[in-house]
A = this chain, B = another copy of it.
Amino acid sequence: MTPDTASGPGDLAGRRRLRADQARLVADVIRQQILRGTYSALPDERSLGEEFNASRNTIRDALDLLRADGLIERQPGVGTVVVGRKYAHGLDRLMGLAETLHEHGTITNEVRTATVIDAPATVAQRLECVRAVYIERLRMLNDLPLSLDLTYLPVDIGEPLLAEDLRNRDIFGLIEQVHGQPLGVAEIGMEAVNADPHSAMILQVPRGSALLLVERLSHFGCGRPIDLEFIRFRGDRLTIRAHVSRG
């Protein structure tokens, strides 16, 4: 594959740029194969070079990009193996983490804080309450940190949950069980941010690591807003998946 570029491949800067562009292109396709679980070990560099019609150096650069993301490792005598594992959290249905990932292992929660507070004005406004329950959990999948979740609930919704098993249960499930009402719709916002030093320490990632920051306001079926969350997912452990329709 030899794409044309605005600055031709004649000069050295042009060639370097071309190789970096090609490495990204190769890395993106291999990355998706890894996420889909196609590989445990990658094909050798020569085979990849043939598949992508790219030079050995380009393939090496592509593998460097994937290694920097923690997805693969080169093991002497074995080749390039997949070490990172990302889990898919679907957006097609509103679900808690344990519900979503139960087939991949056990979600446990380190409850860092669970208390009643005066809601900050903007939280009070969105949850239509004055007092709120604030719960902070570090969520682990198979004993490795996956996300740090900050949750606000109106006090009448949240207070009965403080006696429940916050360590092993999703808050969604607890709300529905304790209050006997199904959840309805949630508004979700997603951003990529760099981990501040303290969040990085808690999530056991290097400072500055890319995190997926999700803000989610969930409602009861009747429309009442009852759960405002700020979730920091480790970028190297989670992919969000969704289906979107044009119509």
Contact = CB atoms under 8 A, between A and B. Distances in A.
Interface stretch (A72-80, A88-96, A101-109, A163-171): A88-96
Interface residues of A, number: 82
A223 interface: no
Interface string A5-26: 1100000000001001101111
Q: Most B CB atoms within 10 A — which of A26, A118, A193, A244? A: A244
Copies of the polypeptide in the assembly: 2
Chain A binding surface SS class: mixed
Contacts of A198: 17, 20-21, 23-24
Interface of A: 1, 3-6, 17, 20-21, 23-26, 28-30, 32-33, 35, 38, 51-53, 65, 68-69, 86, 88, 91-95, 112-115, 117-118, 120-123, 134, 136, 150, 172, 182-194, 196, 198-199, 208-212, 215, 221, 230, 233, 235, 238-247
6 tightest A-B CB contacts, nearest first: A192-B235, A20-B198, A192-B192, A192-B210, A3-B113, A210-B210
